[in-house]
Structure 1
Amino acid sequence: MTDFNDSELPKVLVVDDEQEILVALEDLLEDRYRLLSSTSPVAALEIVKANPDLAVIISDQRMPEMPGNVFLARARPYTDADAILLTGYADLSAVVSAVNEGAISGYAAKPWEPEALRAMVAAAAERQQLRAALRFEQSAFLGLMQASADQISVLDRHHRLIRGNHDRAENATAGDARDKDEAALASGSYSEEDLQSGGEDEDERWTRVRRIPFGASDSDRHLLKIESDETDRRLAARRLHQAEKLQALGTLAGGIAHDFNNLLAAILGNLELAERSLDKPDRLTRFLANARSAAGRGSAITRRLLSFSRQRDLAAETFRPDAAIRDLEELVARTMAGRVSLALDLQGDGAIHADPGQFELAVVNLCINARDAMPNGGEIVISSARAPAPPELAHAGDCIRIAVRDNGAGIPEHLRDRVFEPFFTTKPHGEGTGLGLPMVRAMAEASGGTVTIDSRVGEGTTVTLWFPRLEPVEAAAAVAAQTADTPSLRVLAVEDDAEVRAVLVAHLTGAGHQVIEADGAQAALHALESDTAIDLLVTDYAMPDISGLDLYRVASERRPGLPAILVTGFADVEDGSVPLPVLTKPFTGDQLKATIARVLAPVD
């Protein structure tokens, strides 16, 4: 659920002819929304006209002046707010009318279940916010085309000008610029260059030319070409570029908000149940394990988002995919909502090297897509087998092939090549983000594999993941290396957050290490001066005095060769970008042990 400041809480209009109902709804919703209310649908229409920025309308169905479905239909010309119909009667025709004419997103029966209604209103407010953001982005692009001082042109694959915002846009193709345009169209690769004209005097000008090919295939490829006068605006252009990146990340975050809400519900619910089961060890263990599993999936979603938005090394491990799929079976079965059966045919016979969390999410996403392709029910089969590599992975030898098959509607041939495009979806408006399959492909390719799709309209779809196969002995050795016990060490643990530091210290002591705690860099440097027996430095990255990276540099000057691990929750700090191993928050005790083992491993 999105958090808002009091001044920007979403507006919710509640309409019911019974004052007691209005009071009950206000009590339920007033902590998260700016509430407007009326017992008269006629008066409520005036409220709608005066408040076009309404996020949600909640309306009773049976009211003396006009029924709720008629009120919502009359409100539609003035607002695009999400609408929820309340009814105490089984009036299916009214609900159908409200869907068709009032564009309701859902309905709830009286008496309602409080948390279910709160969740329904929250989801409705989120949808309205995303629609407003989309309108903003569309108008922003149109405004850019119409008012920008930059020369913007769109060229087709025959180099014809399709759209431009300047009469002189045709002149952009003069000289060797045309050759560069055609090269960009042929390669499909983004390019940019800075061009200098004039001499070293007042006539000197700088122009940045950006060439952005787009299109699903060579036949429909186009080139967006932007020529910017950078003489006075180079810094402003960089800021604009950063703003565009932030907008893209915001769009991605909105697309996975539902996943996070589900995970948070699972975590909080299991923790509450655990509190009630302190005297029942078996139940307590199960609830805590469920909460931990959900938190781990939340961490995996974050990694999935980061890996999609930028190049990033994944937390790859060696594991048996058959075992991982069996662990997922119950979760996947729950997502089928009783409409679709699930069968496993696992004969993978081997291991793969991939990010387990990303692999898990890929399988779940494929199963959800398969479920949605069978609205009238059907069967999903998850299978694995040892198989020869496909042509694009011929160098990999044998692969493990993991397929998710449904017998649903299938995908038309003209759309099949587009399903891996970011934000493209075959689902109805508002029911898909278009991110699932692109993320599945990103995970497979980052693991040295690939993904293929086979679909026939009316017969079903099979999505197949291909991973280079590791021999079981090799896999066992790799897993053993990852979890090997390390000798008892004297570890300096530096973390300014007391709660996180307590978890870090507990993991270290639980692994048999002696721990010296420090709540910041200055305390850590003092400990290094006074204790020459410290074997390992484990430090947070973001601290109020100096960063963990700077602490490591100072410590290296005073204690050359001291092993160190950097712990961080920042996306731009990762292995390879800093001169020491990185452990990303949140982490488990096993992940910490594996990182320590990696730090202490001898260099070949």
Structure 2
Amino acid sequence: MNTLPDTAERPVVLVVDDEPEILVALTDLLDQAYHVLAASSGEEGLALLRQNPDVAVIISDQRMPGMTGDVFFAHARELSGAGAILLTGYADISAVEAALNRGQISFFAYKPWDDETLLSMVGQAADRYRLENELARERLLLRGLLENLPFGLGFKDHNGSFIRLNQQMAREFNRSVADCLGQQEDDLVDGTRLESLRQAQSDLVASGRDQQVLQLPGPDGQSRWHDLTRVRLDTLRNEPVRAHTLSAYSILIDRDVTELLSLEQRLQQAQKMQAIGTLAGGIAHDFNNLLTAILGSLELVQDLEPPKEAATSRLYQNAMQAARRGAVLTRRLLDFSRPRHLVCQQVDVAEMLEHLRDFLMRGKVPDDIRGELDAERFKPGSGWERVSFELPDIALPPVWTDATQLQLAVLNQCLNALEAQPQGDSACVVSVRLADKLLGRHLGGEHASAWVVVQIRDHGAGMTEEQRARIFEPFFTTKDVGQGNGLGLSMTYSFISHCGGEVRVEGIPGGGTAVELWFPAMARGKGLEQPAQPPLPARKVLSVQDDPASADWEQDTVKESGEGRVPARALSTPVTQDMARVLPAAAEGRIILVVDDEPGVRAVTAGFLRRAGYAVLESSSGMDALEAVQQHADIALVVMDVKMPGMNGGEAARHIHTRRPELPVLFVTGYADFGLLPEGVAVLHKPYTRDALLGDVRAMLAA
């Protein structure tokens, strides 16, 4: 008979007896398998218990002076849950029975004891103490888990009544835990939730599991999405539960998945916008090549033989204007795909909004913003007095963004808000705040939990779920035909995304709309990745003359942005019959290499340059350009397309500069993919006019 415990660690046994010989005998008997503590009185035994809370078994004599064994165990129960064995004589049987009845002892043995029997009692008491400790630990862990779960959890008995549930679940029922215990779920819910419970019963009976995702009203009146899962416990076992009542026990899990669904929708939105942007960029590249060929060919025709009849001249001008409007629309579509005009720097958002408020109050909006939004929007009576600002008294951390684009984004959303409300309503409110976190976004380090949020809210008609799912798509608009092109929010979305931020829109039909622009905060003096590079001097594209009448046709200026030198906008001059024969002076001896894989674009570019008096060589690929540069040492300038099959313009330029580092290269592109280009290069965007091209060429040759 094995009477020793099956434990890796030696349990602690406390022996209490007033006779030294008994203490020695018990210590010798137990010392092989247990760590033994000895006390000669009840008082001393209690003191050892206080010092050693891990005692597993207590063996005590009944007859001791001062404190008898049963009295000692009564006090010991207040200090320890150790197994208790009372050693007694026949005369003390009544005290032993009382101690057993009160639960103070587990076993008793008569003196003199049998060694095997006593060792068996100690082993059983030690095992029971270990199991009770493990059970208590598991209960503590499970209770801690139950109360700290980020979702509601409840357990039901075979009658469907709650026997356990956490605070989160009780809050979903708008009751306390005590009020929910013993109640059935259908007594605690109503409406949509009660209907879902009744629908779940058949699935629970058939498969033992039911899961539903429901939209339920929250405590604040806002709807929240809940994932309700009900499972019968017997379905979690590999073998059937023997007890019939236990087989009907079940659990209820209630997860608020509103933010999770929102995060999933934002991920899908980001993927959709990325796909649309890629598609827009590819289409714009090809379309800009067509527009370049069309516009250039029309200009060359004008140079060769201007229309003589008035009707023909009008048709010619209509064609030119239509092509130019197509170029403007394509540029805006490209800005959605990849904003070209960002000049990112540290921006104090509250200070920027304060300046914007002052602009609107005085009616003096900067020209660059006025031009972007249409000057008609700022005439008296336009409704800007209905825009109010709520700015914080405390300083907010700066953000890394383009201040002008941020102002445009705010004003665009204010315009949307003004148009979404009747004239007499309290209009829109612009506010800014600091947020602790943005769910689903992590920037790491100091930027992980600090966000500056600009909110534009109104009390207009709001949006439906279907409208909100499409608001960032290019050309989607809720306005009437002719009142908007649907690019405002999509441009804002693209701009904010390129600044590392996010746009959130909340709208309830009939309850208004709130547009929030989230920017990751930054430490003063630091960018999110690296500080802004020193600005390069802007290089103005030369034109024949300035003509304000051509405000709808935008040409290029080069300025610095977060992605290198990119084009900004300046007004150029439309071609007129009087100007058709005004050409620059000839430039004999200056050879220019034109590189473009599109024959129509290459022919137009070469035609512009030849009409200006330059000698022109043409290449249809990057490899051909390398050979031409190697064969013709007198090439003074290369005008090269960026996106070409095989070797793109950036790669070709790098190879050219290994042979001739001093040779200038003017890049032309219909798609703003600056990742293909070295930093600090000159870029001319398709479609370009003759004057824009020649202005850049003259400037680069003069430099």
TM-score by length of 2: 0.31
Higher relative contact order (CA 8 A, sep 6+): 2
TM-score by length of 1: 0.35
